[in-house]
A and B are shown apart, each in its own frame.
Chain A
Amino acid sequence: MEVVKLTIDNKPVVVNKGTTLLDAAKSIGVNIPSLCYMKLEDTNFENKPGGCRVCVVEVEGRRNLAPACKTECSEGMVVNTHTMRVINARRTVMELILSDHPFDCLICAKSGNCELQSLAQKLGIREIPYKGEQSHYKGDESPAIIRDMDKCIMCRRCETACNEVQTVGVLSAINRGFNSVVATAFEMDLDHSSCTFCGQCVAVCPTGALTERDHTWKVVDAIVDPKKTVVVQTAPAVRAALGEEFGMEPGTLVTGKMAAALRKLGFDFVFDTDFAADLTIMEEGTELLDRLNKYLSGDKSVKLPILTSCCPAWVNFFEHQFPEMKEIPSSAKSPQQMFGAIAKSFFADKLNIKREDMVVVSVMPCLAKKFESTRPEFSVNGDPDVNYSISTRELAAMIRNANIDFASLPDEDFDQPLGESTGAGVIFGATGGVIEAAVRTAYEIQTKKPLPKLDFTELRGMEGIRSATIDFDGLPINIGIAHGLGNARKLLEDVKSGKSNFHAIEIMACPGGCIGGGGQPYHHGNMDILKKRAAAIYREDAEKPIRKSHENPYIVKLYEEFLGKPCGHLSHELLHTHYFDKQKKIEI
């Protein structure tokens, strides 16, 4: 590869041709401040509109200042990143941005995590010399995402996430000049658009313009209500990220501390969504084998591949964008909803309480789960199976509020019977994990032989689209995996055009799977954090005494005592769902 030599802040640098000044400077430890720029390694997320001009630097011989994020290095360039001219320009840019930004940092949901705030701090901005009109826009409050566009700085990261990475396409810059803002078509609320609520826009927003709908105080109200039995479930990806909110290293597993904190917060029963993940494998795995065996015996009415259905953003995606294929995904509900349905039937019966007196709270790495819990088909007589879905960040806020010293909590276990899980349930949190869990169970049911090895490393990794063939004792099973909805779209187009030879496909909407969900602690563009979370998930799996869903003793008992058999009558009633055509198509 061709290289170029240049000088940055009097230091010689050699980089590959095409490297930007920002990256070249980073390689010698010079971190040029930037704002709109964001790149997520290993995904196709790269936002560099060069719009904010915070990263400007001085290039000798060039008349104007150059935006470092967009300027490529060239031979012999002499670059200075902190001359007086640069510093003044950077400060002026920040002052101008701040002059059209609300000053409610003290009560803003993003305070402490806001990139605009930390940059203003870094640059030492103490007053805004520009006084004048500020822009105001209509607010948007969907069940999952809150948009307060008064706080938008037009970095366009949300557009990149929504349009280029996820290919959902509900956001666009509209209007021009002072009135320009990112909006939906006709400035409708998100829940009237084809938004999947994946929350990736929230995950990359530098300010408080995009945040989650906060349910923490509703949960607290339920906890202090003596008439309510409050049950909490925690998704697999939460335990691999929650520690970050308390200053722990990314990838620290805090399963035991989390259970202890939830108990301290006053939840009556501390359960685990991983249990429901094992249950999902029983149902989805059985459905996979049923469809596979019918297909192999020549039944033309059976469609393959079977697609996973655990990810609610993915469900929203195909309902809006590929409704003609809504019969292909598994009919199994997501673990969150399976948990809710079992808690409010089996467990409420055990406690001898009415389902209305039970409040099910879920802690999720996800914002789409908030939307999912409000779907009318997941409630009985207006009582939702899952009352409140809160994000990893909201749980952290609750723990801080309650003055719990998280780091010094002792490890505690989940309660039973809905708290026992296997390693297969844990890996639901990372891309490839659901299908690996399904393979572990489906293999043994299909072949009636024990698996020679449990780690299917060929299904793991961070590549956007992956495939592998698993040998089911002579029967080759082709598996596809996609994370990120743009990648999912590619696999789906292949299925639609008949080019796909997969028997089963796993899809997760967020980069890296649930560990990179829209409700997780903010990664601020550092993909290493996501990789460490994934590694933590697989570590927990490896350490579990039981690693196959069908061997979870409480799952076995649940079928014996209550459900009967997987995909049986009661399962269908409680654990399976159906999908809707939500595409808006104009017929002529």
Chain B
Amino acid sequence: MANIKLPDNKKKELKEVCAKLNNDPGELINALHAAQGLFGYLPAEVQELVAQEMNVSVAHVYGVVTFYSFFSMTPKGEHPISICMGTACYVRGAEKVLDEFKKLLNVKVGETTPDGKFSLSCLRCVGACGLAPVVTVGDKVFGRVAPEDVKTILEEYNN
């Protein structure tokens, strides 16, 4: 695990979030949600801080983080790519689209490219089933994506 120095102001903010949750162990998932929102991901030090503030063991926090696919221990890329794997998108070929992204970026799901530009993840339904299969890059939604469109999408962000 790379030892990245976390900004003090964000750590302070996280501490305040935990205090607002009454440092109640039962609110752990909400605290982790907030932490991921603040830092973009959940590196070890953030998990240790959450454990300390929420009065649970670090092992327990790590157990929760590794259980839910929403939580990530790797920093997201500058442009986070999500491929919808919901039923509609899946039957219309989302997996082939995903495979194309994996091939072109040379990363697996949940990973970030070495240059930090793109990260790849899957999600379940963005509520745009009429546009299936759907891909989101950051806040932008791409509909009816075919594997051959993937190259063009990436080029948009590579310049």
Contact = CB atoms under 8 A, between A and B. Distances in A.
A174 B11 CA distance: 25
Contacts, number: 56
A163 interface: yes
Interface string A81-116: 000000000000000000000000000000000000
Contact of A184 (B1, B15, B59): B59
A170 B67 contact: no
B61 interface: yes
B8 interface: yes
Contact-residue size bin, chain A (C-beta under 8 Å from the other chain): 10 to 19
Contact of A588 (B8, B59, B61): B8
Interface stretch (B45-53, B89-97, B126-134, B149-157): B45-53
B8 A172 contact: no
A292 interface: no
A430 interface: no
Nearest to B62: A185
B59 A171 contact: yes
A185 B12 contact: no
B87 interface: no
Interface in B6-56: 8, 11-12, 15, 44-45, 47-49, 51-52, 56
Interface in A160-187: 163, 169-176, 183-186
A586 B45 contact: yes
A346 B7 CA distance: 56
B67 A176 contact: yes
A585 interface: yes
A300 interface: no
Contacts of B1: 186
Nearest to A187: B62
Contacts of B102: none
A584 interface: yes
B66 interface: yes
Interface string A544-588: 000000000000000000000000000000000000000011101
Contact of B59 (A172, A584, A585, A586): A172
B52 A585 contact: yes
Contact of B11 (A173, A183, A584, A588): A588
A175 B52 contact: no
A586 B48 contact: yes
Interface centre among B52, B56, B63, B67 (most CB of A within 10 A): B63
B59 A169 contact: yes
B45 to A, nearest CB: 7
Interface of chain B, helix or strand or loop or mixed?
helix
B117 interface: no
B12 A588 contact: yes
B12 A584 contact: no
Nearest to A180: B67
A173 B49 CA distance: 20
A174 B58 contact: no
Contact of A175 (B49, B58, B67): B67
B52 A586 contact: yes
B57 interface: yes
A185 B52 CA distance: 13
A173 B57 contact: no
Given A175-B67, A185-B62, A170 B8 contact: no
A185 B60 CA distance: 7
A490 to B, nearest CB: 16
Interface in B93-111: none
Contacts of B61: 185
Nearest to B1: A186
Contacts of B56: 169
Interface string A56-83: 0000000000000000000000000000
A588 B15 CA distance: 9
B60 A172 contact: yes
A173 B61 CA distance: 10
A174 B49 CA distance: 19
Contacts of B47: 185-186
A163 B25 CA distance: 14
B34 to A, nearest CB: 15
A185 B12 CA distance: 23
B67 A185 contact: no
B59 A185 contact: yes
16 contacts: A169-B57, A169-B58, A170-B59, A172-B57, A173-B67, A174-B66, A175-B66, A183-B59, A183-B62, A185-B51, A185-B57, A186-B44, A186-B47, A586-B48, A588-B11, A588-B12
The 10 closest A-B pairs by CB, nearest first: A169-B57, A172-B63, A172-B59, A185-B58, A174-B66, A185-B62, A185-B59, A174-B63, A175-B66, A172-B60
Given A169-B56, A185-B51, 7 more contacts: A169-B57, A169-B59, A172-B62, A174-B62, A183-B59, A183-B62, A588-B15
